[in-house]
Homo-oligomer: A and B are copies of this chain.
Amino acid sequence: MNYSDRLADIQPFFVMEVLSRAKALEREGRDIIHLEIGEPDFPTPPLVVERATEFLRRGEVRYTPAAGLPELREAIAKYYLDRYGVRVASERIFVTPGASGAFLLAMGLLLNPGDKVLLADPGYPCYANFVRLYGGTPALVPVGAESRFHVNSEILAAHWDDRTKGAVIASPSNPTGTVLYPEELNALVDEIERRSGFLIADEIYHGLEYEKPSPTALTYSDRVFVVNSFSKYFGMTGWRLGWLVVPADSIDNAEKLAQNMFISAPAPSQYGALASFKEENLQELERRRRVFQDRRDYLCDQLRKIGFSLNTIPSGAFYVYAGCSRLTSNSLDFAMGLLEKTGVALTPGKDFGKNSPETHLRFSYAVTLARLADALSRIRRFVQG
């Protein structure tokens, strides 16, 4: 039996090594502070739980239409209008099993074998693997503090070639937490359209922004593919629910693919998500956002004092991608050593690409300020030997 060639190019995540060692230490009774996790520490908002529970009580947990519950698609469309001032027809919105499902769907719509797709390096590793899944070629574009770790229109133009079909961007970015400014996003959308390429904009960290709220890429064009999720800002990770906005002329194709790939997204999650857009829930999410902001301020300040370098402001998500070249030349060893000695778990740069991963570490601030303070004093002691 032969396996698919694509598997050779897909690496397991190094953070899984960290996580499994962390769990082993926990079983030995050690206190582990988890700064490696890409998941908000808040529980699912109570209104969402309530709405889902109400739905379950009826017992009728059926397939929904492949594109999602009509009322949820309407609610998302209304959210685009309320939050961004952008009109998006609900027919263009496909509710998917997580943002993962949205990426599977978008790339299934767009990619042919051999197509090149530009991706920021460092970046979320799954993008490249979704491209590989469909026989495409991920083209990692090294980006640094100069462009706040983003592929902007100039960088895009410099890397675009005849085989390039499009790009994936993410703002706020995982792992860097940095955002593209509105004029940069606008220029990037224009540049790609000039080249008749596709743009997939990952907006799953929208809402978790600490300077200014970002505009959606849909502000500048109705030809972009936008991925979003109920996981991060809306606090619904385990529910596995996201969405994809497609251009109007992709609706039929997206419908066809979604029917085949998913049948539908989970019904309890879709009913629960209906409560996400209630005013009372949005107020709760705003409270959570401010808590993240305080943690970010504190973490950035403390990391600099310890000797990490932060050459850009992480303005969103709940990550800081800190340079550690003054402290180590091997961030994976550093992370494993830190975990072993102090019980603080981090994600090594290696999970995010090939652009100086050995001198970067991702800190997630999805823990309380008190735990963050504890983690930072442990790190300080570790660094001071």
Q: How many Å from the CB of A22 to the closest CB on chain B?
A: 13
Q: Which of A161-218 contact B (CB under 8 A)?
A: 165, 196-198
**Are B59 and A1 in contact, with the CB atoms below 8 A?**
no
- What CA separation (Å) do A267 and B236 show in the bound complex? 10
Asked if A113 is at the interface (CB within 8 A of a chain B CB), the reply is: yes
Q: Which of A1-45 contact B (CB under 8 A)?
A: 1-7, 10-13, 16, 39, 43-44
**Are A2 and B165 in contact, with the CB atoms below 8 A?**
yes
Q: Which of A49-66 contact B (CB under 8 A)?
A: 49, 52-53, 56-64
Residue of B nearest to A267 (CB): B238
A369: chain B residues at CB < 8 Å are none
Given the known inter-chain contacts A49-B57, A59-B43, please indicate yes or no for A263 contacting B100, CB distance below 8 A. Answer: yes
Interface size class of chain A, counting residues whose CB lies under 8 Å from the partner chain: 35 or more
Given the known inter-chain contacts A109-B7, A266-B239, please indicate yes or no for A223 contacting B1, CB distance below 8 A. Answer: yes
Q: Which of A80-102 contact B (CB under 8 A)?
A: 97-98, 100-101
Residue of B nearest to A7 (CB): B253
Asked if A337 is at the interface (CB within 8 A of a chain B CB), the reply is: no
Given the known inter-chain contacts A12-B259, A52-B268, please indicate yes or no for A1 contacting B239, CB distance below 8 A. Answer: no
Other-chain residue from B39, B223, B262 in contact with A63 (beta carbon distance below 8 A): B39
Give the number of copies in the complex.
2
Q: Which of A259-274 contact B (CB under 8 A)?
A: 259-269
A125: chain B residues at CB < 8 Å are 260
A340: chain B residues at CB < 8 Å are none
**Are A257 and B5 in contact, with the CB atoms below 8 A?**
no
Other-chain residue from B3, B60, B108 in contact with A133 (beta carbon distance below 8 A): B108
Other-chain residue from B52, B108, B266, B268 in contact with A97 (beta carbon distance below 8 A): B266
Asked if A237 is at the interface (CB within 8 A of a chain B CB), the reply is: yes
Given the known inter-chain contacts A113-B135, A253-B3, please indicate yes or no for A238 contacting B63, CB distance below 8 A. Answer: yes
**Are A263 and B250 in contact, with the CB atoms below 8 A?**
no
A268: chain B residues at CB < 8 Å are 52, 238-239, 266, 268-269
Asked if A112 is at the interface (CB within 8 A of a chain B CB), the reply is: yes
**Are B255 and A12 in contact, with the CB atoms below 8 A?**
yes
A257: chain B residues at CB < 8 Å are 7, 10
**Are A240 and B16 in contact, with the CB atoms below 8 A?**
no
Q: Which of A225-271 contact B (CB under 8 A)?
A: 236-240, 247, 250, 252-253, 255-257, 259-269
Other-chain residue from B4, B110, B198, B239 in contact with A108 (beta carbon distance below 8 A): B4
Q: How many Å from the CB of A193 to the closest CB on chain B?
A: 9
**Are A62 and B237 in contact, with the CB atoms below 8 A?**
yes
Q: How many Å from the CB of A171 to the closest CB on chain B?
A: 20
Asked if A332 is at the interface (CB within 8 A of a chain B CB), the reply is: no
A binding-site residues for B, Cβ under 8 Å: 1-7, 10-13, 16, 39, 43-44, 46, 49, 52-53, 56-64, 97-98, 100-101, 104, 108-113, 125-126, 129-130, 133-135, 165, 196-198, 223, 236-240, 247, 250, 252-253, 255-257, 259-269
A-B contact list, 18 entries, CB within 8 Å: A2-B110, A2-B112, A3-B253, A4-B109, A4-B112, A6-B112, A7-B109, A7-B253, A16-B259, A44-B56, A44-B59, A52-B56, A52-B268, A53-B53, A56-B56, A62-B237, A64-B238, A238-B268
